[in-house]
Structure 1
Amino acid sequence: MILSRLPAPRAIRRARLAVASVVLASAALFAPVGALAQGMSSDPTLAQTLFEEGRRLMEAKAYAEACPKLAESQRLRPGTGTLLNLALCNEALGKTATAWGQFKEALFASKKEGNAAREAFAQEHIGALEPRLSRIVLKAEGTPGLLVRVDGHDIPAAALGTPIPIDPGSHEIEATASGYSVWSTTVQVGESADLKAIAVPKLQPAPPATPAAAPPGPAAGGAGSAGIAAGGSAGGGGGEGLRTAGFVIGGAGAAVLGVGAVFGILAAGQASDAEKDPALCPGKQCTPLGREEIDAAETKALVSTIGIGVGVAALGAGAILVLTSGRSGAEGASAAGARPGAPGRVQARVVPLLWPEGGGVSVVGAF
C-alpha cells in the first residue's frame, strides 16, 4: 500500500478563512454606515465655537455672516439663549417673519424653563415686530390633488385663505397637481405691514406625453442592443428602479454567500474527518483513498472561497444601489457629471478579495 504524507491541512484552513470572511465582509459593509451616523451626532464644542463667532459678528454688525453660524449652533445644540440671539440676528437682517417666529418659540421655551427675564425679552420683541409683519394670502380654485409651495415649502390646504407672515423680498409661488401643468409666479413683498393676495387659478390638464421614437437598431448584435436598451431603461427609471435592482442583486448575493459558507463548512468537516480517520490517514500518512478525500475537501473549499467572494460583491453592489436610490433623476445626472471626490458626494464600491488561502472584501471610495 502506498502512503503519502498529509501536507498541512490547507483545506481546513481555507474553509475556516472562507467562513470567517463572511463576518469580515458584513463588518466592512456596515461599518461605514455607523461611522457616518456617529459623525452626524451633535458636537457641543463646535456648537459653542459657532455661537461665540456668531455673537462676535453680530457685535460687528455683520449680520449676514452671523446668522448662519448661530443657526448651525442651534441645530447642533438647541438652546433658548442661542435661539434668542438667532432671532435678534434675523430681526437686524430684516427677516421680520422669521425673527417673529423664533421669538415666539423662545417665549414658549422660556415659560417652560421658568426664566422670567428671557420670557419678558422675547415678549417685548414679539410686540414690536407684530405691527410690522408682512403677509401673503393664497387663494386657490379647486384642482384635485392641488399642492401649493412658497419658496419650495409646502403650504397645508388648511392655510389657504389665511394671512401668513412672510419675510420681505421676492418669493416664488408654485402650484402642482398630478396630471396638470405646473403654475408659478413671483411676488414681491414689502418691508412693513404689506399684504399680498395671490390667486392660484385652476390648473390646466397637462398635454399627453409624446413617446420618443426608438432609434433603429442594427440587424446583428441583438443581445448587445438589448443590453443597451436595458441599461438606458435602468438609468431613467428613477430611484424606485435602483432600489428594486439593489434588493434583487443583494438577495442573489446573500444566496450565493450562503452557498459559499455551506461549502466551507463541508470542506472543513471532510478534511478534518479524513485526517482523523486511521483507516484513511494513519499517522498523518494518507492512503490513496485518504488523499482523494483531502482533494475533494480542497475543491469544496475553493468553491466556498469563490462563492463568498461573488456573494459579498453582489451584496455590496445591492447595498450601494439601495442607499443611492433616494436621489432624483436630476441629482443622479448631476452626480454622473461631477468629478470624483466632489464635496458632498459619497462614492464607494465593494471589491471582493480572493487569494489561495481564503477571501474577503474591501470597500474603496471617497467620502
Structure 2
Amino acid sequence: MIFSRLPAPRAIRRARLAVASVVLASAALLAPVGALAQGMSSDPTLAQTLFEEGRRLMEAKAYAEACPKLTESQRLRPGTGTLLNLALCNEALGRTATAWGQFKEALFASKKEGNAAREAFAQEHIGALEPRLSKIVLQAESTPGLLVRVDGHDIPAAALGTPIPIDPGAHEVEATASGYSVWSTTVQVGESADLKTIAVPKLQPAPPAQTAAAPPAGGAGGAGIAAGGSAGGGGGEGLRTAGFVIGGAGAAVLGVGAVFGILAAGQASDAEKDPALCPDKQCTPRGRAEIDAAETKALVSTIGIGVGVAALGAGAILVLTSGRSGSEGASAAGASAPGRVHARVVPLFGPEGGGVGVLGAF
C-alpha cells in the first residue's frame, strides 16, 4: 500500500484538512475577483476619467449621457466638486428634487470644508429650486405591518402625511403588508410646484390559497381517467427529473474524486522515489509532509468517489421507477396502495464519507 496507517486522531485531523483544502481552494478562486472589485471601487484614475468625460458631455449639453458618468465618479471617489457638477446635471434634466437634495448635501460639505465660494454657489441654486419643487403627500389607512414604497424605495412611517419633494414625471406607489393584498397606483407629477396627494386605502386580506380538489376515489367515465392519468404522469415526471439531477451531480463529484485520487497517487509516488525526501524509504520531515499532503488528497478522493457512486445509484433508481406510462398511472389510481411507488432521497453520512440514498417501496 502507498499510504501508512494512521491512528484515529490523525485520521480526524486528516479529514478536517480535506474540508479546509476545499474551502481554501474556493477562496483562492474568488480572491482575485474580490481584489479586482475592491480596487476598481476606489480607483482614483477611473473616477477622474469619468468626471472629465461627464464634464465634457455637459458642455456639449448631452446631460442624459453625462449624469451617469458623474454619478459613478462620485461613487468611486466622493467629492464636493463632483457632487456640485452632478447636481447641475440633474437640474438641467429637470430632476428638480434630486438636484435640490444634492445641492443641500454639497452645501453642508462646503461649510464643513470652509469653502465659501462653493457654499454660496450651492445656496444660490437651492434658493432657485425650492419654489419650483413638486411634492407628494402619502396618506395611508391603518394596516398592521404596512409598508409603502415609491418607485421601489421604502417610505418611513414618520414621513406619511408629510409633503415629500419628488422629481416630475410618473411614479409608482405601492403598499404591502404581510397577509394582505398588494395595492398600487401610478401618479403623474407636474414639472413645477405641483402637489399630489395619494390616499392609500386600508389593505384587503389576501384570499386563501386555492387548493386543488382531490380526484374522486372510484369515479367512472373519461373525466375520472383523465384525472388519474394526470396525477400519475406528474409524479413520474418529478421522480425522473430528480433522478437526472442527482445522477448528474453524482457524475460531477465522481470526476472530482478521480482527479484527486490521481494527484494523490502521483504525489506519494514521487515523494517515495525522491532520494532527497525519502532516502532508503525513511522519509525526512519534508518527505513526510509530502506524504501527508498526498493522504489528504486521497481522503478527498475517497469521499468524492463514495458520494458520486451513491448519487449515481440513487439517480438511476429514481429514473427507473418513474418509467410508468400515463395509462399505467391511471390503472394504479384504482389499484391497491401497495402497488404504488413511494420513494424519497435522503442524505447519508458515515465516519469515512457520505452520500445519498433512496428510501421507499417499489
Query: Contact 1:17/1:357 (CA < 8 Å) preserved in 2?
Result: no
Residues 1:344 and 2:339 aligned together:
yes
2:276 aligned counterpart, secondary structure: coil
Which piece of structure 1 moves more, 110-119 or 229-238? 229-238
Cα distance change on mapping 1:21 and 1:104 into 2, 3 Å: closer
- Normalized against structure 2, the TM-score is what? 0.58
Query: Contact 2:147/2:177 (CA < 8 Å) preserved in 1?
Result: yes
- Superposed CA deviations along residues 6-51 of structure 1, whole A, max 9, x for unmatched, are 9999999999998996586355454356345435522111111111
Which piece of structure 1 moves more, 51-60 or 307-316? 307-316
Structure 1 Cα separation of the partners of residues 338 and 43 of structure 2:
21
Unaligned runs of 5+ residues in structure 2 are none
Structure 2 Cα separation of the partners of residues 281 and 229 of structure 1:
73
Q: How many residue pairs align between the two structures?
A: 362
1:49 aligned counterpart, secondary structure: helix
Structure 1 Cα separation of the partners of residues 163 and 328 of structure 2:
35
Query: Contact 1:138/1:198 (CA < 8 Å) preserved in 2?
Result: yes
2:338 aligned counterpart, secondary structure: coil
Query: Contact 2:2/2:268 (CA < 8 Å) preserved in 1?
Result: no
Query: What pairs with 1:94-243 in structure 2 (closer than 5 Å)?
Result: 94-212=94-212
Deviation (angstroms), 1:62: 1.0
1:90 aligned counterpart, secondary structure: helix
- Superposed CA deviations along residues 220-273 of structure 1, whole A, max 9, x for unmatched, are 999999999999999999999999999999999999999999999999999999
Query: Contact 1:246/1:321 (CA < 8 Å) preserved in 2?
Result: yes
Structure 2 Cα separation of the partners of residues 123 and 70 of structure 1:
21
Structure 2 Cα separation of the partners of residues 13 and 116 of structure 1:
66
- Superposed CA deviations along residues 281-308 of structure 1, whole A, max 9, x for unmatched, are 9966999999999999999957865559
- Superposed CA deviations along residues 185-244 of structure 1, whole A, max 9, x for unmatched, are 11111111111111111111111111346999xxx9999999999999999999999999
Residues 1:334 and 2:340 aligned together:
no
Determine the structure 1 residue equivalent to 2:300. 303
- Superposed CA deviations along residues 162-196 of structure 1, whole A, max 9, x for unmatched, are 00000111111111111111111111111111111
Query: Contact 1:25/1:360 (CA < 8 Å) preserved in 2?
Result: no
Cα distance change on mapping 1:212 and 1:346 into 2, 3 Å: closer
- Superposed CA deviations along residues 100-154 of structure 1, whole A, max 9, x for unmatched, are 0000000000000010000000000000100111111110111111111111111
- Normalized against structure 1, the TM-score is what? 0.57
Cα distance change on mapping 1:261 and 1:168 into 2, 3 Å: same
Query: Contact 1:243/1:321 (CA < 8 Å) preserved in 2?
Result: yes
Query: Contact 1:106/1:122 (CA < 8 Å) preserved in 2?
Result: yes
Deviation (angstroms), 1:319: 26
Query: Contact 1:253/1:313 (CA < 8 Å) preserved in 2?
Result: yes
Query: Contact 2:137/2:161 (CA < 8 Å) preserved in 1?
Result: yes
Cα distance change on mapping 1:182 and 1:20 into 2, 3 Å: closer
Determine the structure 1 residue equivalent to 2:317. 320
Which piece of structure 1 moves more, 4-13 or 93-102? 4-13
Cα distance change on mapping 1:321 and 1:24 into 2, 3 Å: farther
Structure 2 Cα separation of the partners of residues 355 and 132 of structure 1:
72
2:8 aligned counterpart, secondary structure: coil
Cα distance change on mapping 1:263 and 1:90 into 2, 3 Å: closer
2:179 aligned counterpart, secondary structure: coil
Structure 2 Cα separation of the partners of residues 79 and 320 of structure 1:
63
Structure 1 Cα separation of the partners of residues 341 and 88 of structure 2:
37
Cα distance change on mapping 1:188 and 1:292 into 2, 3 Å: closer
Which piece of structure 1 moves more, 163-172 or 279-288? 279-288
Structure 2 Cα separation of the partners of residues 155 and 331 of structure 1:
57
Structure 2 Cα separation of the partners of residues 344 and 108 of structure 1:
77
Cα distance change on mapping 1:4 and 1:169 into 2, 3 Å: closer
Which piece of structure 1 moves more, 116-125 or 344-353? 344-353
Cα distance change on mapping 1:34 and 1:161 into 2, 3 Å: same
